[in-house]
Structure 1
Amino acid sequence: MKLLNPMNDFVFKALFGREDQTSKQLLIDLLNDTLRAKGEDLIRSVKYLNPFNYKEHEFDKLSVLDIKAETEKGERVNIEIQVKPEISYRKRSLYYWAKTYAETIGEAEPYEELKKTIVINIMDYDAIKESKKLHTHFKLLEREEHFTLTEDLQIHYLEVTKLEKEIEVLEGVELWMAFLKEAGKVGNEERIERLKRRSENMSKAIESLETVSADEKMLEAYRAREKARRDEISKIAYAKKQGIEQGIEQGEKRAKIETAEKAFKNGADLDFVAEITDLPLEELKEIEKRVQSERSQ
């Protein structure tokens, strides 16, 4: 059976965001391996704030599908998959953190009630070019003495493209990134089996992905989302191509106008300038008039 790609955000949410014990345990295991890697407090339980449902893709197949959850301490967690480069992604992830953080208290509650908010970004491209690490972890620190202003802010970036180790030496969150990178690719059956043998977590994740991939309703939704994504990529590529062509045309037009201006300044007549620039006569007359006006000033 062909596995669906877990880096598709719809599939990812079906795996980690369903309102059932298997999905919830997978999410807890993924979160704890991410937090453990950076020495952060672990999570015992989660409550979904936006559990998975099939209708999420029906009205807007390109909407962002993230996972929002609350821990047993009232802390908030937001996890998002990002497969295409976005220039403003860092600002966006900070905005998501701020928005989620603000939601942890009501209007009449004191600031002391604000809860730690953790944002985890799983990227299918090199987002943090300043580092070669697969996992980067951001907090609010004093610049020189490096103490933490507050533990309430945590932003993690997990970049699957930076995974270079062999499956047999991977540990913790690296195994999760290998699962996301390898599953769903044609011809990867042997690597998936090796990954399955590495840990109980990987075995559970792959078995869960097999279940999701066998679901006809899920497959239909997946295909619709992938088609919408490809159509959007095609639209963007076409728009860029049109923009480039238009830019070239505008550049050529500007060059012709500058040539005409120089020719008129050097005393060339209208017919000669028309022949060398191929610009319309009416436009050339306006250029000639403008040059003569500037000369007389």
Structure 2
Amino acid sequence: MRSANLLNDFAFKYVFGEDCKEANDALKSLLTVFLERKVNRVVVKNSEMVKDYSKMKSPRLDLLVEFDDRTMVDLEMQLRQTKDNLPIRFSYYLARLHGSQQLEGKYYKQLKETIVLVFFNVNIIENDNICNTFRLKCDGDLPLVKDEKEDRMKLRTIEFE
């Protein structure tokens, strides 16, 4: 039996996106490690983002996961640089995912957390960190919200060689 390279996009989706206990356990372990939070239950959702109108881009997420508290996580495996600007692309994915929540008749504080977790083999940030987390901040590094629990949009990158 040949072993699969999980850095391959298709192998990544196959191993972590399969509808079986082993894949679900592996996915929960991966999310627990890289999101630094306990993951009790996850559900892999359809990864196609629905367009609002015909000229809008229709991104296909690598793996879209929903936690039991309805937190949405997009896991992306990005092995090479493309012509698209990757930080802007993943910010777009994050905004689309966050904005896709049904909020009619609800308060904005009821929005659930959304996270885009990206695994890269390219250096996009000039620092020595393996893991970087990006949040909305004001100029001067002031956070937009005072309580980290209110910070509902996160882009986290994991760089590897």
TM-score normalised over the length of structure 2: 0.79
Contact 1:134 1:158 in 2 (8 A): yes
Superposed CA deviations along residues 256-284 of structure 1, whole A, max 9, x for unmatched, are xxxxxxxxxxxxxxxxxxxxxxxxxxxxx
Aligned residue number for residue 133 of structure 1? 129
Structure 1 residues 130-149: Cα deviation after superposition (integer angstroms, max 9, x where no partner) = 11221111112344464452
Does the Cα contact within 8 Å between 2:103 and 2:111 map onto a contact in 1? no
Secondary structure of residue in 2 paired with 1:80: strand
Within a 5 Å distance, the mapping from 1:137-156 to structure 2 comes to: 137-144=133-140, 146-149=142-145, 150-156=150-156
Determine the C-alpha separation between the residues in 2 that align with 1:70 and 1:64.
Answer: 16
Residues 1:126 and 1:144: Cα distance change in structure 2 (over 3 Å): closer
Q: 1:118-267 alignment to 2 at 5 Å? A: 118-128=115-125, 130-144=126-140, 146-149=142-145, 150-161=150-161
Structure 1 unaligned segments of length 5 or more: list them: 52-62, 162-297
* Structure 1 residue 107: Cα displacement: 4.0
What is the identity, as a one-letter code, of the residue corresponding to 1:25?
Answer: D
2:123 is matched by which residue type in structure 1?
D
Q: Which residue, out of 91, 106, 110, partners 1:94?
A: 91
Partner of 2:46 in structure 1? 50
2:28 partner letter: I
Q: 2:111 is matched by which residue type in structure 1? A: L
Give ranges in structure 2 of 5+ residues lacking alignment. Answer: 48-58
User: By how many angstroms is 1:89 displaced?
Assistant: 0.8
Q: 1: distance between equivalents of 2:105 and 2:45?
A: 22
In the aligned structure 2, how far is the partner of 1:48 from the partner of 1:13? 10
Q: Match for 2:114 among 108, 114, 117?
A: 117
TM-score under structure 1 length normalisation: 0.45
1:42 deviates by: 3.0
- Alignment length, in residue pairs? 145
Cα distance in structure 1, aligned partners of 2:17 and 2:61: 10
Instruction: Give yes or no for contact 2:61–2:75 (8 Å, CA) kept in 1.
Output: no
Percent same amino acid among aligned pairs?
26
Bigger Rg, which one = 1
The corresponding residue for 1:12 is 12
**In structure 2, what is the Cα distance between the partners aligned to 1:141 and 1:20?**
39
Higher strand share: 2
TM-fit CA distance, 1:50: 2.2
- Give the aligned CA root-mean-square deviation in angstroms: 2.1
State whether residues 61 and 74 of structure 2, in contact with CA within 8 Å, keep that contact through their aligned partners in structure 1: no
Any conservation in 2 of the 1:9–1:65 contact (CA below 8 Å)? Answer: no
**2:87 aligned with 1:71, yes or no?**
no
Matched to 1:120, the amino acid is L
Q: Which has the higher helix share?
A: 1
